Amino acid sequence: MRDDIEISVVIPTRNEESNVAAIAAAVIAQLDAAGATYELIFIDNVSSDATVPLVKAMCAANPRIKLIVNTRNFGQMRSPTHGIFQAQGRGVINMCADFQDDPALIGQFIARWRGGAPIVLGVRESEEGGSLPLRVARNAAYGIGSRLGDYKLIPNATGFGIYDRRVVDTIKALNEPEPFFRGLLVETGYPIATIGFPRKPRAGGRSNNNFWALLDFTISGLASWSKKLLRAPMFLAVFVGVGALLALLAAPVAALAGWPAWPWLVAALAEAQVAALLFFLGLVGDQLRHVSERTRGFPLVVEGERVNFDA
């Protein structure tokens, strides 16, 4: 932490050439209006457009704008979190580059944080944007995470908000290989204040949050954040066992009635057990991957370049 930086703003990017200059100007205007000393950190997941050169030009013009360029795409969990961990401000704001996280809330975040709130999150009042598969994936992610996670998520809170330095340091000390940050915020137990805001359409470019990206995000989040799923096979075994017993009792009844029902029941039960076995073997495998990552101590990202950071 640096005493001369009150607020750090971290903005992950990937192919955001149409937005980086505008989002930087909007964020800086809000920080200046709040009277905050700041740093603005862009962390890029190997953009294939002009995002990195544009940010470098801004870095040259303003030393308070900084850039981290990853060596490859490290995903939507690891890259933003690494950027947050590199921030030096007493308060850290995390937001998207595409204006779906409204910069106008920055002043309210800072005011609530200065008033003593350790975490202030923006909550979208609607999540109706995007294609049907994307909306289904998004709603499924919230629903599954809220019901099966060890701690209840805040619906429609994507992580856009401000976190006090002690919150960031607490999460950093956990050394999570794939940090599900919005879940970890809840897990810390620090009080969370929320501010509602209307969802805005993407300002430009193409979203990186497609159906498969959100599905991958959900699976990784559950694997690292839900102990309930590890116990689920036991509960499923009970239901399958009851079904097997009912099928066993129904088989002679069907035979007496002249109905060849039992082969179909046996096949259905066998298929259900195989499907359950495969699913939970996959989940356990993902858990073992997390154990392996913790053992290896691999960093969240590997940086290829830094601009405007102190040596």
pLDDT band at 162; cut points 50, 70, 90:
very high
Model pTM above 0.75? no
Mean pLDDT of 213-222: 62
What does the pLDDT average to over 232-246? 65
User: Is the pLDDT score of 208 beyond 80?
Assistant: no
* pLDDT reported for residue 154: 84
Place of tokens 């050439």: 17
Q: Which residue in 85, 126, 89 sits closest to 110, CA to CA? A: 89
Give dist(CA 242, CA 240) in Å, integer.
5
Give the whole-angstrom CA distance, residue 69 versus residue 98: 18
Give the lowest-confidence range in 5-14, 42-51, 150-159, 187-196.
150-159
Q: Each residue of 292-303: pLDDT tens digit?
A: 666 656 567 878
DSSP characters over 111-180: HHHHTT-SEEEEEES----S-HHHHHHHHHHHHHHHHHSSS---TT--S-EEEEHHHHHHHHHT--SS--
Cα–Cα distance, 288 to 250 (Å, whole number): 40
Strands 91-94 and 7-13: parallel
Other CB atoms within 10 A of residue 144 CB: 17
Write down the domain spans for the chain.
Answer: 7-225+299-307, 228-296
Give the pLDDT score at 157: 87
In this prediction, residue 238 carries a pLDDT of: 61
Q: What is the pLDDT of residue 297?
A: 62
The Cα–Cα gap between 59 and 42 comes to 10
Give the residue among 178, 157, 53 at the shortest CA–CA distance from 109.
157
Would you give the DSSP letter of residue 97?
S
For the residues 21-25, what does the mean pLDDT come to? 97
* Stretch among 52-66, 91-105, 156-170, 195-209 having the lowest mean pLDDT: 195-209
- pLDDT attached to residue 213: 61
Is the pLDDT reported for residue 234 higher than 60? Answer: no
The 10s digit of each residue's pLDDT in 99-146 is: 999 999 999 999 999 999 999 999 988 655 555 665 665 666 666 656
pLDDT bucket at 229, cuts 50 / 70 / 90: low
Residue the block writes with tokens 């290829």: 304
* pLDDT for residue 262: 66
Question: Would you state the CATH architecture of domain 7-225+299-307?
Answer: Alpha-Beta Complex (3.90)
